């Protein structure tokens, strides 16, 4: 019997053209694709006509399939001789549970590989004109999940994050935006610190709202910002405003 294998693949931040060549080749050769909610379904069109597609998406508070069931399916199909592609939004190892799946494959003795993808912190920020690092403004950045805000056993250390890095990128935090801002302000972050919310980054539905740590809550509510979205906090947000201003000036001169 043919020996199966598992490819844990990053699909990138949303724009299907941002997938890597290697990842696309794995989609094209897959017998089974287990794909997540934030994967652009246009990518599934590159798969073989007889590929088995299984949706494993997780929306906030609504999981179509438990993680353990997804991993078991992945192992079962690979053990049966299939090339399984575990297709995940962004990068598999950045809040993608790719590490858990790699450990499961290794424990089962299934050959596996991990193919990186552009994570939304990098892709969405760049698409919105916000560099995570910028000479004179930011020499460091941290990525953190906002979904642990109410985790009493391992809470997010907002006290440490408030002053330890120049740029803070928060995944899965829009629903807890008010609490996040309150915590950062409580631990001494300046209320005038620039902040951006990027919704559906890199896609045709991308929307960016900017403000300050003290004002963004009202703006987000007025604009009805929702998931998927990331939060970027730091002086680098000002670069976006500068770019937009320069572009406006050039257009007026040309026009």
Q: What are the tokens at 25?
A: 């080749």
Give the end of a domain, one of 79, 100, 115. Answer: 115
Query: For the domain that residue 239 is a member of, what is the CATH number?
Result: 3.30.950.10
Are residue 40 and residue 126 in the same domain, yes or no? Answer: no
CA distances to 73, 105, 154, 184, 243 from 145, in Å: 27, 25, 12, 14, 28
Cα 58 from Cα 65, distance rounded (Å): 8
Tell me: do 83 and 166 sit in the same domain. no
Catalytic residues: 36, 58, 172
Domain boundary among 80, 115, 150: 115
What is the tally of structural domains in the chain?
2
Model pLDDT, residue 147 = 77
Residue 154: what pLDDT? 72
Q: Identify whether residues 51 and 83 lie together within a single domain.
A: yes
Give residues with Cβ within 8 angstroms of 33, minimum separation 6.
27, 44, 47, 51, 52, 53, 54, 84, 85, 87
Residues of the chain with pLDDT under 50: none
Which tokens is 148 given? Answer: 């642990």
Distance (Å, whole) CA 67 – CA 56? 8
Domain-terminating residue out of 115, 144, 162: 115
pTM: 0.92
pLDDT, tens digit (0-9, with 9 covering 90-100), for 84-123: 999 999 999 999 999 999 999 999 999 999 999 999 999 9
Residue 125, in any domain of the structure: yes
Residues 101 and 135 in one domain: no
Considering the domain architecture, whether residues 132 and 82 belong to the same structural domain is answered as: no
CATH number, position 94: 3.40.1010.10
| Residues 46 and 154 both lie in one domain | no
Domain of residue 175: give its range. Answer: 120-243
* pLDDT score of 221: 94
């Amino acid at each position: 019997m043919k020996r199966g294998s598992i490819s844990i693949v990053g699909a990138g931040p949303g724009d299907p053209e941002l997938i890597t060549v290697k990842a696309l080749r794995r989609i094209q050769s897959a017998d089974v694709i287990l794909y997540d909610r934030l994967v652009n379904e246009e990518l599934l069109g590159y798969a073989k006509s007889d590929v088995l597609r299984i949706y494993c998406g997780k929306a906030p508070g609504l999981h179509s399939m438990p993680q353990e069931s997804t991993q078991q399916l992945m192992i079962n199909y690979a053990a049966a001789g299939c090339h399984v592609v575990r297709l995940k939004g962004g990068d598999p190892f950045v809040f993608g549970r790719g590490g858990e799946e790699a450990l499961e494959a290794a424990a089962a003795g299934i050959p596996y590989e991990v193919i990186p993808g552009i994570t939304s912190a990098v892709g969405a920020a760049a698409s919105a004109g916000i560099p995570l690092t910028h000479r004179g403004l930011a020499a460091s950045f941290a990525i953190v999940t906002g979904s642990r805000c109410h985790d009493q056993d391992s809470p997010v250390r907002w006290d440490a994050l408030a002053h330890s890095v120049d740029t803070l990128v928060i995944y899965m935090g829009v629903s807890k935006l008010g609490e996040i801002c309150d915590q950062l302000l409580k631990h001494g972050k300046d209320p005038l610190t620039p902040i951006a919310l990027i919704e559906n980054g890199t896609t045709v539905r991308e929307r960016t709202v900017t403000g300050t740590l003290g004002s963004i809550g009202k703006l987000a509510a007025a604009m009805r910002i929702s998931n998927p979205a990331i939060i970027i906090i730091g002086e680098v947000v000002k670069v976006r405003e500068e770019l937009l201003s320069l572009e406006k000036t050039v257009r007026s001169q040309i026009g």
